[in-house]
Amino acid sequence: MKRTVDVNIPLGPIHPCFKEPVRLKCEAKGERIIGAELELGYMKKGIERIMKGRPWQEVMFLAERVCGICSVIHNMVFIEAMEQISGIAVPPRAAYLRVIVNELDRIQSHLLANFSYCYTIEHETLGMYLLDLREQVMDELERLTGARVTCAYMIPGGVRCDISRQDAENLLSAVDRIEQDLRRYVGMFSDGPMIALRSRGIGILTKEAAQRAHAVGPTARASGITFDCRLNHPTYRQLGFVPVARVDCDNYARIMIRFDEVAQSISLIRKCLQDLPKGVIRGGGVCKEGETRYSGEAPRGELTYFIRSDEYGRIVDIQIQTPSIMNIEACCHEMIIGVDSVADVTSTFISADPCVACTER
C-alpha cells in the first residue's frame, strides 16, 4: 500500500537524549509519526565469542560486562545456569544474599531509567534527585560487594562474602532513607501537571500489542501483563513475591511501574534481612558437562542464557537473549506509531528503557 510520507526524520545515532547509539528512522505525516524503523549495530562487542572456551571464573566477569546498568543479574543468571548444569545446591543464606544484591541492582537500574525519562522530558530537577538517590543505592552495593557496578558477587555454590551485622544495620537504615526520599519524588512525578501533559496518554502500548510484540519486563507489566520471571525463582517464591502491574499502558504507567517496583524491591530487601537464615555461604561444587537454558528477571525483563559446557566446566557454546530487543521492537512498531510530535518520540523511546549495550552484546 502506498503511503503519503511528508518527511523522514532520522533520530540518532548521536542524540542528546539517547544514552547509547541507536538510529530511529521515523516517517512523519505532518508532525504525526506513522511509522518507524530501527537501525542497530553501532556497538557490537562480540562478547559471546570471547566467552567460548573459558571457565566460569572468567566468563562470570565477561557476563557482567555485557551490560553496565544491570550487571548483577547477568552474573546471577549465568551462575545459576552453571549450577543447574552441574547440580550444585546453594546454601539458603547465600540464596537470600543473592536476592538482596539483585534487588539493590534493580533499584539502581530503575532509578537510572526514570532519571533518563525525566531528563528527556526536560524535568532535570527530578532527574538529578533520582540520580542522587541512585548514588546512595550504589554506595550500599559497594559496601556489600566491594565494587559499585561490576560486583562479581555470586560464584557457583554460593556468594563471595557474607554480610556482617554492621553492614546489615547500615543497609536497613539506608533502605529506610531511600524509601522516604522516594516517596517524595514519586509524589513529584505523579502530581506534576507538566509531567502529566508529557506522559499521560502518550505512547500507548495496549495489552494485545504488547503480546504481539513480545514485550517483557516493566514495559509489559505497564500494559497489564502480570508476568515476571521471579515467580519461577525458588528464593523469590519463599519470599512470597507477587508482581505489580498497571493498566494505563502509556509512558506515565511505564515510569510509575518502575517506581512501584523500587518500592517492592525495598520491601523484599527488608524481608530478606529479617529472615536471613544462619549458616554457610558457600556449598562448594565443581562445574560439569551439560547444556541448559535458564531465565531470570533482569530490570528490563526476561534474560535468558543458553549454555553448553564441556567436561571440565568450560563454556563450549553460549547464547544470551536480552530483554531490551523485544522492548525496543515493541517501542518502534507499536508505541510510537501515532505519536503527535517528534519530541514525544524520544520520550516514548526512553520510557521503554532501551539498553543497546545488552541488545548488541
Q: CB of 143: closest distance to another protein in angstroms?
A: 6
Of 258, 156, 262, 248, nearest in space to 203 by CA: 248
Q: How far is the CB of 202 from another protein (least distance, A)?
A: 39
Q: Note whether 53 binds another protein by CB under 8 A.
A: yes
Q: Which residue has the cell 506515565?
A: 252
Q: Read off the C-alpha cell for 288.
A: 560439569
Distance set, CA 229 to CA 162, 216, 268, 298, 329 (Å): 26, 10, 15, 9, 20
Give the residue among 182, 265, 275 at the shortest CA–CA distance from 230: 265
Minimum CB–partner distance for residue 310 and another protein (Å) = 8
Q: x/- site string to another protein, residues 90 to 119, per CB under 8 A?
A: ---x--------------------------
> Residue 64 half-sphere exposure, CB side, CA atoms within 13 Å?
20
CA-closest candidate to residue 323, choices 303, 346, 295: 303
With a CB cutoff of 8 Å and minimum separation 6, the contacts of 303 are 73, 74, 77, 229, 295, 296, 297, 320, 321, 322, 323
> Could you tell me which residues come within 8 angstroms of residue 3 by beta carbon, excluding any fewer than 6 positions away?
27, 34, 35
160 binds another protein (CB under 8 A): yes
- CA–CA dist 114, 92 (Å, integer): 33
Length of the chain: 361
Q: Is 313 in the site for another protein (CB under 8 A)?
A: yes
Cβ-based nearer residue to another protein, 243 or 313? 313
Which residues 283-302 are close enough to bind another protein by CB under 8 A?
Answer: 283-287
When binding is defined by CB under 8 A, the residue of 9, 40, 131, 161 that contacts another protein is: 161
Q: What would you report as the CA-atom Rg of the chain, rounded to the nearest whole angstrom?
A: 21
Of 36-44, 138-146, 234-242, 335-343, the window that binds another protein (rule: CB under 8 A) is 138-146
Secondary structure class of 93 (helix, strand, coil) = helix
Choose which of 10, 30, 41, 146 interacts with another protein (CB under 8 A): 146
Residues in region 218-277 near another protein by CB under 8 A: 276
Nearer to another protein, 160 or 214 (CB): 160
C-alpha cell at 17: 537524549
**Sign of the alpha-carbon dihedral angle for 129, 134, 137, 143:** negative
Binding mask 189-218 for another protein (x = CB under 8 A): ------------------------------
CB neighbour list of residue 354: distance below 8 Å, 6 or more residues apart: 20, 22, 324, 327, 328, 331
- The residues that bridge with 24 in the sheet, in sequence order, are 11, 38
Query: Which residues touch 242 (CB under 8 Å, ≥6 apart)?
Result: none
Helix (H) / strand (E) containing 294: strand 290-298
Minimum Å distance from CB 61 to another protein? 5
Stretch that binds another protein, among 114-122, 150-158, 237-245, 315-323 (CB under 8 A): 150-158
Q: Is 173 in the site for another protein (CB under 8 A)?
A: no
Q: In angstroms, give the least distance from the CB of 95 to another protein.
A: 14
Query: Can you tell me which of 12, 92, 127, 158 binds another protein, judged by CB under 8 A?
Result: 158
Cβ nearer to another protein, comparing 61 with 227: 61
279: contact with another protein by CB under 8 A = yes
For the CB of residue 233, give the shortest distance to another protein in the complex, in Å.
21
Quote the least distance from Cβ 292 to another protein, whole Å.
19
Binding region for another protein (CB under 8 A) out of 39-47, 58-66, 177-185, 345-353: 58-66
Closest to another protein by CB, 138 or 330: 138
Residues at the contact surface with another protein, assessed by CB under 8 A: 53, 55-58, 60-62, 93, 142-143, 145-147, 150, 152, 155-158, 160-165, 168, 276, 278-287, 310, 312-314
